[in-house]
Structure 1
């Protein structure tokens, strides 16, 4: 493949100039590098790896064991697909599926039991940080959704955090700093409760004991 590309680049007319040849050779070198990566066995998993979540659950903490179980199931499935009429391979595939499901249930139950014990221990000894982390592992991280706001004149839609906070500050400053007058007729329309003069009396000793 590389020899054919070089022949193609060499067969270009001379009137294209040296810049075209340089660009073509640079492109061919990048393509050759890509072919080497593909044919050399390097996979995306080896080069980039997997993304890890900050809040892990029972599947993430037992990823290696689960991946091994899944690999055995895939191997049994491939063996069954190559020869579907073979009863031994079909039974082996069913046993692999049953074993995978049983192990996944065991791993999940062990994870939840361990998390419940850790949560209870944190609550008993007053470890609020550990208790909060355990609850966070159960319910997951709380989504932080920021609703956009419009500016005071309504023409600009604010979406960044600083602009939204400044807009709320502007709103409450204008709300509480404005001088408002209330008419006496509106106050007179409010329902009046009767005076409770017994509240002015000093509480007795028995009432104090009851309250304490």
Structure 2
């Protein structure tokens, strides 16, 4: 496919471009996009969306909402945009609920009848396939791409070891500019059991009063 795309681009790219930069870019962009769409196409969704079967109805609601928005830009007192937004929201929620209810009834019927294969297919159509894989990671020098689990774990271990064991550096000039605060020698005394009268008074105030 890559070779086919390359050959198609070489055939379709214009031989001469407009002199201005904008025209040059538009011609190049249009050719690349059209060729890529024809050869590769767009990515299609693997799961069933609730709006797949209602594209025309939803598109009509979106067009009405956009039209109301253009009207509101010219007249901020126009209430059409609020009505269009409310209708698009309510109709969209209604359509989604109808599809979800239908899918739920179908899946429940498949479960009740013991159709395991149909149950799996219906559930997969709703939730879509689950992709499980490792995220590749660049090596320390950035030249290679690590794809196996052992190499990725080793690279993360190396990264955090370097991150958490860095040598701390500081400027003595900045330390010397910090003014010396008075040293409180009593903070180094061991704690004792003898407390002053103020401490006992505060402790008594915090005690709950028991009524007879």
Measured against the shorter chain, the TM-score band is: 0.3 to 0.5
Q: Pick 1 or 2: higher relative contact order, CA cutoff 8 A, min separation 6.
A: 2
TM-score scaled to structure 1, two decimals?
0.45
Structure with the larger helix share: 1
TM-score relative to the length of structure 2:
0.45
